[in-house]
Structure 1
Amino acid sequence: MRWFILILMFFGAMISFADKSIVGLAAVPIMEEFNLSYVEWGLVGSCYYWLYPVTGPFGASWADRIGAKKILGFLMISWSILQFGVLAIAALPFLLLYRVLLGAFGGPYSPIAYSHLDKWFAKEKGLANSAIVGGGTIGAMVIAPVLVSLITIFGWKVAFASLGVASLIWFFLFQFFTKESPIAVYKKEEKKQIEKLEKFNLKEFVSLMIRPTPLFTVLAYASVYMLIIWFTIWCPIYLVEVVQLSAAQMGYSIATIGIASIVIYTGVSMISDYLFKKNQDWRISRIYVVTISMAIGALLLASIIIFPNPIWVVSALCLSKGLTYAILVIAPTIMINEKRESGGLMSSMLTSFGSLAGIVAPVLTGYIISLAAGDKIAGYNFSVLFMAALVLTFGILFGIFVKPALSRNKVAKKNISNEVDLVN
């Protein structure tokens, strides 16, 4: 059952990220159809995240209370309706409204999925989280050639609607073939968690979030989320306009970057899990692994400015994406461990603050490009350098300030032991 749930969470993340990223693959026909400027296109990319920070925590906390199945099912039905509704879009305001609503109903998915898998996987948390991030990567990049083909042959609206069909199929599989928790015994634990959630104290929660561990975990996550937006919204255009790839070459390059990055950050997460099982040390197994990965990934990203050869650009982007995305896999585990009875809410802090970055990133990138006074190559290079510096800075801060207490390690061991007993 848990492996089937893991597979569905993987495909759910794939649909979610395909929903949000397909607009980048359809950038050229959409911009031509609505006669959009770069700044207006940045607005289209940004508006997806306007309600994301609000609906993420709200939906995740409700899932903590009434169960993941109900909320995830509702989200999938909403995605399906919105994607079918694309067929009626005839002007920019309607496109913006569609993106805003899609982001609103997309916000809760990842935190709920992280928290839901945390119930089912006692020791392989890094691997389980990698499935969600991996699904997102495939949805955003790996299936790009398929989506580009659909856009080319049938038009961008039909391609969008096809994702609505995928959401509908996922809904029926998840609702009728999975369970809420590993075993009936877990219902007692859920009842205790609900009682604790009913006594939720906002002041206590804010006090928790400003501690160094959750604060700098969220900031490091948000910095990489800005890079996610760059990969989603601007990377396809960068490969075409700067690297001079054809549309087909761009699609296959995006897929290559996505596949390679999945292998890399899954490998990093497995190394982290292995080290944690071996020494139970959060600093070594989680923090240092992520910090080193983010630093190397940021430097590789910056290198494409110096070496603009297409082969090196695609290779560097493969490595950069895979290494920097390690924070996406490890951060939910760190946050959930801070307050386990509110796992969905804690992980939603990551996606919500990441979405704040998502609001700023597309517009900021468009503004940076426009500052180059007509020199698009210089503008894109400035944006790449900015993203690399951001990830490098917050990766180092993450390594310095995120220090889970030793006593918390003991609690983590006890939690793992209890979860193993429950799953067994």
Structure 2
Amino acid sequence: MRWFILFMLFLGAIINFADKSIIGLAAIQIKDEFQLSYAQWGLVGSSYYWLYPVTGIFGAAWADRIGAKKVMGFLMLTWAVLQVGVLAITALPLLILYRLLLGAFEGPYSPIAYNHADKWFPPKLRGFANSVVVAGGTVGAMIVAPLLVALITLLGWKMAFATLGAASVVWFCLFQFFTKERPEGEVVLKKKTASKAERLKIKDFLVLLTKPSALFTTLAYFSAYILVVWFSVWLPIYLVESVKMSSAQMGYSVAVIGIVSVLIYVGISMLSDFMFKKSQNWRVSRIYIIAASMVLGAVLLLSLTIFQQPMWVVVAMCLAKGLTYTILPIGPTIMINEWPERGALMTSILTSFGNLAGIVAPVITGWIIGLAGANKIAGYNLSIVFMGGIVLVFGILFALFVKPSSEKNMKPQVNDVDNRKRPDVKYS
């Protein structure tokens, strides 16, 4: 059951990120149809994230209370309605409204999925499980790009969006009828931990979020998500306008970058799991490995401002994306470790704060490119320096200040369901 659930979470992440990234693949058609400037296009990209952080927190807290299956099923149905509703868009205000609502209802998916995966997998496999969920996002955003480009070319961008709405309905039916809410035995254990979760005061919760482990993990995630948003909104245009690729070349390049990057960050996540299993040392297995990956990824990203040959652009993008994205599967594991009884809520804080990058990054990128005027290459290079510099700084801070309490994962605790070996909890 746990492997089927992980597969469904993977498919859900594909739909989630395909929904948000298809607009980048259709950027040229949409910009031409509505006569949008770069600043206006940046506004369209930003609008997706205006409510995303807020609904991510409330949606995840809701899932902690009533269950992940119900909440994710509801979310999928709203995605379907919104994607089909694209057929009615006739002007920029409606396009922004559509992106605003889509972001609002897609915001809770990732934190709920990460926590749901953690619920079904033991600690030694959680890095891998979360990396599979993250991989679904990469597949949806990049690897299926040639298919999405083909749909846009054959059907037009509106019908291509509606096709994704149909995929959401299929996922809803499979997930609701063929999965379970939790492993056998956890229902009883959850009742024992509920009182502790309810008694924690807001003040104590806010103090928890300001502790170095939570704070600098969140900042590192935020820095990486600036790159996530750039890949979703600006990469297709960058490859066409700056690297001078054709639409077909762009689609295949996006797919290659996605495939290689998945292999990299899934492999590093498995290495992190292996190191944790052997040593139980969070600093070595979770922090140093991820921080080193982020720093190296930032350096490779910055190299694009010097070496701009198409082949190197694709190679550097593959490596930079794969290395930088390693914080995405491991970050939730660190945050859940800080408060296991409210794992979805803790993960939603992480992902929602990270998605604040989605509000500012597209607008800043559009503003930077606009400042460069006719020299688009210079504008894109400045945006890459902006992204790479932030990832580099926060990757170093992550290594210096994040020190998870490994004792809570090594010693049995009365209320720590996730980190005890319980015979009555079966990861089927």
Q: TM-score, normalised by structure 2?
A: 0.97
What are the equivalent positions in structure 2 for 1:67-106 lying under 5 Å apart? 67-106=67-106
Contact map agreement 1:65 1:194 (CA 8 A) in 2 = no
| Count of matched residue pairs | 423
Q: Which amino acid aligns with 1:152?
A: T
Where does residue 422 of structure 1 map in the other structure?
Answer: 425
Are the structure 2 counterparts of residues 242 and 419 from structure 1 closer, same or farther at C-alpha, using a change threshold of 3 Å?
farther
Where does residue 26 of structure 1 map in the other structure?
Answer: 26
CA distance in 2, matches of 1:347, 1:313: 33
* % identical aligned pairs: 62
Where does residue 149 of structure 1 map in the other structure?
Answer: 150
Where does residue 335 of structure 2 map in the other structure?
Answer: 335
CA distance in 1, matches of 2:26, 2:218: 31
Contact map agreement 2:49 2:100 (CA 8 A) in 1 = yes
Aligned-pair CA distance for 1:350: 1.3
Contact map agreement 1:282 1:409 (CA 8 A) in 2 = no
Aligned-pair CA distance for 1:200: 4.1
Q: Which amino acid aligns with 1:418?
A: K
Gaps of 5+ in 2: none
CA distance in 2, matches of 1:359, 1:332: 21
Aligned-pair CA distance for 1:5: 0.3
Query: Deviations along 1:229-284, whole A, 9 cap, x unmatched?
Result: 11111111110011100000000000000000000000000000000000000000
Query: Deviations along 1:144-181, whole A, 9 cap, x unmatched?
Result: 00000010111000000000000000000000000001
Contact map agreement 2:409 2:419 (CA 8 A) in 1 = no
Query: Deviations along 1:84-108, whole A, 9 cap, x unmatched?
Result: 1001111111111110000000000
Aligned-pair CA distance for 1:53: 1.1
Aligned-pair CA distance for 1:392: 0.5
What are the equivalent positions in structure 2 for 1:227-246 lying under 5 Å apart? 227-246=227-246
Comparing 412-421 and 288-297, the one that deviates more: 412-421
Comparing 189-198 and 284-293, the one that deviates more: 189-198
Q: Which amino acid aligns with 2:87?
A: L
Contact map agreement 1:193 1:342 (CA 8 A) in 2 = no
Where does residue 373 of structure 2 map in the other structure?
Answer: 373
Where does residue 296 of structure 2 map in the other structure?
Answer: 296
CA distance in 2, matches of 1:44, 1:307: 30
CA distance in 2, matches of 1:217, 1:288: 12
Aligned-pair CA distance for 1:411: 3.9
Contact map agreement 2:280 2:406 (CA 8 A) in 1 = no
Where does residue 159 of structure 1 map in the other structure?
Answer: 160
CA distance in 2, matches of 1:385, 1:419: 49
Query: Deviations along 1:327-347, whole A, 9 cap, x unmatched?
Result: 001000000000000000000
- Is residue 222 from structure 1 mapped to residue 225 from structure 2 by the alignment? no
Comparing 284-293 and 414-423, the one that deviates more: 414-423
CA distance in 1, matches of 2:159, 2:82: 13
Query: Deviations along 1:113-150, whole A, 9 cap, x unmatched?
Result: 01111111002101100111000000000000000001
CA distance in 1, matches of 2:422, 2:154: 49
Helix, strand or coil for the counterpart of 1:180? coil
Q: Which amino acid aligns with 2:426?
A: V
Contact map agreement 1:57 1:352 (CA 8 A) in 2 = yes
Where does residue 6 of structure 1 map in the other structure?
Answer: 6
Query: Deviations along 1:172-199, whole A, 9 cap, x unmatched?
Result: 000000000110x211122234333433
Aligned-pair CA distance for 1:371: 1.8
CA RMSD of aligned residues (A): 1.3
Where does residue 169 of structure 1 map in the other structure?
Answer: 170
CA distance in 1, matches of 2:42, 2:193: 41
Aligned-pair CA distance for 1:405: 2.9
Where does residue 305 of structure 1 map in the other structure?
Answer: 305
Q: Which amino acid aligns with 2:180?
A: K
CA distance in 2, matches of 1:305, 1:36: 27
Where does residue 206 of structure 2 map in the other structure?
Answer: 206
Where does residue 136 of structure 1 map in the other structure?
Answer: 137
Where does residue 114 of structure 1 map in the other structure?
Answer: 114
Are the structure 2 counterparts of residues 45 and 230 from structure 1 closer, same or farther at C-alpha, using a change threshold of 3 Å?
same
